[in-house]
Amino acid sequence: MGSDSPAQHDTVGQQEQGEDVMTNTAPTPPAAAADDASPAPEKAEAGSGGANKTRKKSTARKTRTVSLTLTVTGTADGDWQADLVHGTTRVVRGLPISAAAVSRAAKELHSDIFDGIETVLSEAREQHRARMEELEAELQRVKAALAELSE
C-alpha cells in the first residue's frame, strides 16, 4: 500500500482534472501485487496489450451543464405559481399557473410526480365541491326566504 503504480498516479491526476476515469476494481492477486511494486517494463507502458496499460487522456469535449431550478407551489385552494432560477439569477417569481397546466406538465415529466400533484389537486377539487354545495344550500335558503317575503 505504500507505493502507487504509475497507472494509479495517472488516475489520480485525471480525477484532479475532472475527467471521467474507469478503474478496475478486481482484487489483485498477491503475485501481481509484487509486480506492481517493481518498476514496470517499458514494453507494458508502450501499450503492448499488457494488464498495466495506462489510459490516454480523453479528447472528448466536456458537456456543459446548466443549472435551472423550477419551483411550483400550490395552495389547498388550487392557486398555483412558479419560480424559475438560472444559476443564482431569479428569472421568474410568483408567475400564476392554472391547475390544469400544472397537471399536464406533471403528467409529461414522470408518473411519480403526476401522482403526487394529482393527490393535491384531488383534495382541492373536493374542497371546492364541498364549498359549492354549501353555497348552493345557502342560495336555496335565501330563495325560500325571499319567496316568503314576496307572498
Write out the DSSP string of 124-151.
HHHHHHHHHHHHHHHHHHHHHHHHHHH-
pLDDT value, residue 13: 45
Number of C-beta neighbours around residue 117 at 10 A: 20
pLDDT value, residue 18: 44
pLDDT value, residue 148: 92
pTM of the model: 0.48
- Residues 25-65 have pLDDT tens digits of 444 445 444 445 555 555 545 555 555 677 777 777 788 88
Q: Tell me the three cell numbers of residue 120.
A: 393535491
| pLDDT, greater one: 72 or 49 | 72
Burial readout 42-60 (b: 16 or more C-beta within 10 A, e: otherwise): eebeeeeeeebebeeeeee
Per DSSP bridges, beta strands 89-97 and 80-86 are antiparallel
